[in-house]
Amino acid sequence: MTLEFLAEQQHSILSEIGILRDDVDVLSASMRRIDNGCDRLQTRMETSFATLISEMREIRAQRRAMHAHQDRTAARVRSLEEERQ
């Protein structure tokens, strides 16, 4: 083995390390984008879920108000029917 051969091998190894480093940088950037995408999706899902729960509560309140209105109307009708008798 000569020093020239060893220098070529070292240069080759350093070149491959540089290529591997670039590959790792690309993969890391891809993973960061995926991770950020997951965070954004989770935030949108949480917001949508909160909106859905709010809408369900509003529907429940409206339904209860309608039942109360129906109960009051039924009570008035019964009262009128009793007065007629």
Confidence tier at 17 by pLDDT (50, 70, 90): very high
Report the residue count for the chain: 85
Q: Return the structure tokens found at 57.
A: 């509560």
pLDDT per residue as tens digits for the range 30-76: 999 999 999 999 999 999 999 999 999 999 999 999 999 999 999 99
Distances (CA, A) of 75 to 39, 66, 69, 72, 80: 54, 14, 10, 5, 9
